[in-house]
Structure 1
Amino acid sequence: MKGVILADKLYKRLIESENPPEDIQLALNLINSLNLDLDILDYEKITVTLDNEEEGKFYYDGELRDLPDFAISIALSHRDDYNLQAAKRMFETKGCKYINSVQTTQIAKDKLYSLQLIKEAIPEIKIPKTMLINQFTTPEMIVDYIGLPCVVKIMDGLQGKGVTLAKDKKELETILTMLFAAENNNQYIAQEAIMTSKGRDLRIAIANNELIYSFVRSSGGNDFRSNTHVNGRIEDYEPSEELLDLSFRVAEAINLPYGSIDYLFGENDEEFYLCEVNTFPGFSKLLKAIAENDEETIRIFKELPQKLLK
């Protein structure tokens, strides 16, 4: 089975370097062990075409190639680049299986819209109070609707970046002033801070309605965020059947065949708040499994392509 990975030129250079970063090297080792026919392409060198002729081909770096059976994108610093989006749509409309679809990826990176769709599909699911904020939003409006402390985050942020905790009104005023003093096109939301989950959250990774793995991420009290990219630690977690079923329904609501659903902890072990969904759960679990020689988890990762492409 033929596949391609769309990457930006920086990531492609890292992959092809003599000493790539540890997480990239481990991912490459895993990919190589799968015996997949897989190419890594610089998406900027893909020529997007549309015509009435042969649809099973595409141009890369001026060369006509056969269309792959599947495609994915990874570690892209310019997720909204139109050329990238056009290339992904071309693969999809030519009959290539794209993981995840362009539409699903766009929904997931919009933290507000994804929560709206999921809440509509699953009315009983708990979510933090959320408000879209702009230059007309006052601290008083946020405090009145959400309360304090509250979280202010960029709409499509990754890895815990662009997330700030406002503990009081003065901090909130400072954050809003800084956000809207900068001239950019970013969108921001304010959310209820679920303090029972401070520095801790739960990630459930799924593939085609099957549990791949689940773990609790914890900052150890050093940060209100739990992401491994801010030095968070992970510990295996066994979700209940009810929570697992809820996660599958969340994935179905936004047509997510592969990804992770992140939850915040409520007042007890059976109360969870949906935090967000991700179309690429990352390598933290795989890195831990390799470091601990966890053969079962490594096997699960090796079986992922078959689960996703069946």
Structure 2
Amino acid sequence: MNIQTFTNREDISLNQCHRGHVEYKLPVMIITKILELTWMISTYDQEFPLLSYKKALKLTLINKRFFGIVSKRFNNIKLLSHANSSMMDELHDRLTNVWCPIKHIFKLQVGIPVFEELMKQPSPHLTHMLSTVEKLHIHRETNCGPLTENSIKTFGTIDTNLHSLIINSILLDFAHLDAICSIKSLRKIDISTTFMRISDILAVLCNNLPLLESIKLICFSITAIPIASRSRIRKLSSVYLDDTDETFEFPNLQRMINAYQNGRSYIEIPRVLPGLGPRNCVGMNLANDDIAISNIVSNFIVSSHDGKPIDDT
């Protein structure tokens, strides 16, 4: 939404307010900053988030324009599941309500029940709301049903800008992988549980996701990554190095997390394997500069330790 700066005016007619056109005493950019700071102060108390957000949501009552500004603060959303079907319907109705402040979701964390329910009959409003998600985290909950591949495909058709997908504690099969591979915009994959062979998973993902550059699975060998896909890989997590004579070439690899260090120890790529990561010799420019070398050499007198002539050959 483009924010315009309005001119000052003492009187604001009711007719203008009715049409949604208002001229403010301050530039709208300044008012927007005030609203953002007020929001931060109101939501600072994380011990009682329900009360703090209830107070912050009062900002949406100012007018339509500021409702849109405040709604952009809801960009990191976690939707809790409800076993009761009536409560699930209530959640769906709230999300699809035009006055719901959740409009622009960047990061969405959701359990299987809610995700499946949302994908059954997505309304135009819900479709628009989910189309802005760039990071999706789906997790398993107690006594919940399976994650269906149709729901994954449906979300992929809704959101064509999804970059990151995390699937936590959910058993997957090849049908799920095919559904995941239908989302061609994916750049990062994080799968924590599977009974399939890691090499098969990597082959399917790397061969069908052209933009995939970050992979995190359960403790996999670096040799399992298809050779044709290694040039675009930038980040690897939970990997280990096999004893092999194979030469590894990952020219764009920037970060790798060792599987044997609790997934926390970052390893500097040039210290791990030759052929990993972009780098140059620190003295390359000096070695290529003949003038610099000749100037350096001219400042030294070279002689043998015993005074005998040195053979130039």
- TM tier relative to shorter chain: under 0.3
More strand by share: 1
TM-score (norm 2): 0.26
- The structure, 1 or 2, with the larger RCO (C-alpha pairs under 8 Å, 6+ apart) is 1
TM-score (norm 1): 0.26
